[in-house]
Amino acid sequence: MKNTAMADWRLMLSRPLNGDIEKRYDELISSADNLLARGIIDCSEWRELVRTAGSYLVGSSRNQFH
């Protein structure tokens, strides 16, 4: 279950962006929160997902404006 949930989260991250970067970031964070609340991931894994989502937001923002 954990591997599937993490794979689904990473799939969401890798989907082509068709809209608002911040909306995608919010979806990623919400999904990570949900995985933590359901006990599928622990706090350290949650932090990793949040950091990855933050890097995605920063990287996508830079690409959008260049």
In this predicted model, what pLDDT tens digit does every residue of 4-27 receive, in sequence order?
Answer: 999 999 999 998 877 788 999 999
Planar angle of CA 34, 16, 38, nearest 5 degrees? 10
pTM over 0.75: yes
Residue with more model confidence, 33 or 65: 33
Would you state the pLDDT for residue 18? 78
Would you state the pLDDT for residue 20? 85
How far CA 32 is from CA of 17, 22, 27, 55, in Å, comes to 19, 15, 9, 15
- pLDDT tens-digit readout, 30-64: 999 999 999 999 999 999 999 999 998 887 655 55
DSSP string over 51-63: HHHHHHHHHHHHH
